[in-house]
Chains A and B, each alone.
Chain A
């Protein structure tokens, strides 16, 4: 079966890859490009551990076919820090101990960044509902929500 040739942009860099038609963006990120920061927790869009943005829209990479990224701009957790400067959300997650095992953390960070780009002053409820598509089994979400609210407050200053 002929593989598809895809030209896309990932974290600002031009990327070309070959993929099977049924391969998801998550498969290609992890297995072909070795960008393993996006995690596979379910492969069905339920856990959010593979959250990335595509043309600015928050998506589960496991629900996007890799061929759909032709010409798109994809942002993953690997592109979140600016050189050696962590994004404020990344720093606040560390300051608030908002991660334990850390496997859901990339997805939460990507999703939270997407929230703050749309809504720089979310309420606790808005944070909780926006992040309801990201599962965390370790933290009980408390410190994650605090970290996001604290980041929002700091970024507004």
Chain B
């Protein structure tokens, strides 16, 4: 069991991280929510019960595409124990064409209200058509069978290439493609075309001695969080409501629900439960507005929990794609041009992550001539939800596969080939802006020098490498530090803790205040506790939350110094905060005994009243993050099964606040990527119904499928964060797809251009190759 976990530091001029030793930041401190989670005490979305609570259930479309002619709930309402039924008639329609910023995304509420409850048409199998609330799970289930829905079944389309065809069934009959000049006259399933790049690619290709062009196809996948969507809504007769739910962003969920229900945002309080995984799939709402609508009708609390089957059919899928990539290089190994066309499934409503995919596809490379074109395409699937670095793994899978082929054609080591072309600070990115301080080269060099890359392969094995990129984001964030009378502090944040952020935020707070970590009790407040908080996503919480908690700590310190100055009758300038205590400074140094937080807190009533440190910000300047993965595989030539035998993740974290949880992000992302590359896919039948909507058949990696995942944390600090943090949660899922495909090619000499490389597909290719 190789445990090669190390941290490589590439310090730049950074006043905070360099100038003093850190006591908490960078340690593996215990997490404050840990004991609750190992004892079963932690309350997740489905773990809350209220007196007089009803159970809500959803009736879902059995058809992939059908016009809804009528819905008759009368028999269900007549069943004893049924308290409410809701349908499309219970949600006000939203204005056409209006998009609103909500959280990190631009939301088209006209689409969202149709996604949570079908209106004119059911657009995918599993689309919600009605919902009931009843006194028990059994009665609610029985009531669903009594709701009569008349459908006119329509032709459907799932595959992205077919959906772009001229004779494809139209999912939205009036959709005109955006981003075309001139705009097409006829509607189609293509919602948008985007294009990025610079230079002139044909000039670039004319300079190339080797050009490789390939087409790729990937199947739709699911985020696969272990906790199904769950919520509990309680509406009272006066129009005020409470909602408890498992969400990546309870402020964002509040906004969505209030808009969809037509109520004041402040009348709805949302409390985020512990969240059992999200990976982007819990950034949107499904059950929440439905449970609220049912509760509003029934005037009783309504709990709703998805089954696993519903999770697969009706929530958060990620795109399937069709992609073409062409890259040219000189014989010496300089890439002269790159061109990619990416076609992404959006689901039944516009908004796949194809723009981000197009922007990230060539991001690791310094290119004079580059173009990436993306198409956002409607199909009869639920609207895709974000999945960890949304879009990036797919575009980079295609590009990094061709990069690997080019390296082979040029007889260059794949890491050396990448190093010849890699981006560094000051270089124009493929999508536009110049890069600031980044760690692309550093991750490649660390991968090259790693024991893994230096170790010879076993017989029949293959090794693959790939580099990946993700932007990371900032956004609105608030934090409050409430000083208790004994000098300990309650830290209230508004970002659901999905992977240890209470630990990292408390550590940065204790570090800044100069106090013991166990004097900081971090909590995730409800939506009434703090100013707005964008959701937990975009790898933003340790970055933006860190800025917020450090700001709140500095606000607290300023007030503590003021109280000490008043107490000592000194000007504020003559008081400084060092190692968790106020001390007289300048010419007055040593004139008074230092005052600790506990001492100031003890007398705060007398010195001016409660002391509360606050900071609210819209954090800017998220640090982009590169990662390079190295993977070894064994391929069973008789069954086609690919086994990952060794895996190393190298990634720039900026600064690892809690290295244990940073490694965890690297390892978890890599294994999700292994699943995506080797096994995971939605299988649809000819009627557009999912055939594998369960964990047994949609097989995510299990413990015995994978080896230990080695990690190397590179630290090129982000100058926009007080401790140098970039954000780490998403980049780890970007390189695996290509790294594994490259390893399989290295083992078999067969280039796969379709994912997943599942045993039947691999076996067929081996047999075809003879």
Are B40's CB and A34's CB within 8 A?
no
Are A90's CB and B226's CB within 8 A?
no
Which residues 45-94 of A have a CB within 8 angstroms of B?
46-47, 49, 76-78, 80-81, 86, 90, 93-94
Main secondary structure of the interface of B (DSSP, over half): loop
Are A76's CB and B227's CB within 8 A?
no
Given contacts A41-B308, A135-B226, A137-B277, contact A100 B35 (CB under 8 A): no
Answer yes or no: A144 CB below 8 A from chain B CBs.
Answer: yes
Answer yes or no: A124 CB below 8 A from chain B CBs.
Answer: yes
B694 — which chain A residues lie within 8 A by C-beta? 42, 44, 46
Are A101's CB and B706's CB within 8 A?
no
Considering the complex, give the chain A residue whose CB is closest to the CB of B38. A90
Answer yes or no: B667 CB below 8 A from chain A CBs.
Answer: yes
- A103, A128, A133, A143: the one contacting B226 at CB < 8 Å is A103
Which residues 125-157 of A have a CB within 8 angstroms of B?
125, 127-129, 131-146, 149
Q: How many whole Å from A77's CB to the nearest CB in chain B?
A: 4
Are A77's CB and B226's CB within 8 A?
no
In whole angstroms, how far apart are the Cα atoms of A73 and B658 in the complex?
40
B92 — which chain A residues lie within 8 A by C-beta? none
Considering the complex, give the chain B residue whose CB is closest to the CB of A96. B660
A42 — which chain B residues lie within 8 A by C-beta? 308, 694-695
Which residues 84-131 of A have a CB within 8 angstroms of B?
86, 90, 93-97, 99-106, 109, 124-125, 127-129, 131
B49 — which chain A residues lie within 8 A by C-beta? 31, 34
A8 — which chain B residues lie within 8 A by C-beta? none
- B39, B138, B671: the one contacting A81 at CB < 8 Å is B39
Considering the complex, give the chain A residue whose CB is closest to the CB of B661. A97
Considering the complex, give the chain B residue whose CB is closest to the CB of A129. B704
- A94, A106, A129: the one contacting B34 at CB < 8 Å is A94
Q: Mark B653-670, 1 if CB is under 8 A from A, else 0.
A: 000001011011101111
A106 — which chain B residues lie within 8 A by C-beta? 38, 40
Given contacts A46-B695, A140-B671, contact A102 B33 (CB under 8 A): yes
In whole angstroms, how far apart are the Cα atoms of A101 and B658 in the complex?
15
Are A144's CB and B274's CB within 8 A?
no
A109 — which chain B residues lie within 8 A by C-beta? 38
Are A38's CB and B40's CB within 8 A?
yes
How many chain B residues touch A (CB < 8 A): the figure is: 62
Considering the complex, give the chain A residue whose CB is closest to the CB of B308. A42
In whole angstroms, how far apart are the Cα atoms of A34 and B663 in the complex?
34
Are A136's CB and B667's CB within 8 A?
no
Q: Mark A19-47, 1 if CB is under 8 A from B, else 0.
A: 01000000000110011111111111011
A140 — which chain B residues lie within 8 A by C-beta? 664, 667-672, 706, 709
Answer yes or no: B641 CB below 8 A from chain A CBs.
Answer: no
Given contacts A99-B34, A103-B227, contact A142 B499 (CB under 8 A): no
Considering the complex, give the chain B residue whose CB is closest to the CB of A27. B137
In whole angstroms, how far apart are the Cα atoms of A94 and B30 in the complex?
7
Which residues 224-262 of B have a CB within 8 angstroms of A?
224-228
B672 — which chain A residues lie within 8 A by C-beta? 137, 140
Are B227's CB and A101's CB within 8 A?
yes
Q: Mark B202-241, 1 if CB is under 8 A from A, else 0.
A: 0000000000000000000001111110000000000000
Given contacts A77-B40, A136-B226, contact A40 B28 (CB under 8 A): no
- B663, B670, B696, B703: the one contacting A134 at CB < 8 Å is B703
Q: How many whole Å from B148's CB to the nearest CB in chain A?
A: 26
Q: Mark B307-326, 1 if CB is under 8 A from A, else 0.
A: 11000000000000000000
Please provide the 6 A-B residue pairs with the shortest distance between their CB atoms, ordered closest to farther.
A37-B40, A103-B276, A97-B660, A102-B37, A140-B671, A140-B667
16 CB contacts below 8 A, A to B, read A36-B40, A36-B43, A37-B40, A37-B41, A86-B38, A94-B31, A94-B38, A101-B274, A104-B276, A128-B703, A132-B705, A137-B223, A140-B670, A142-B667, A143-B660, A146-B3
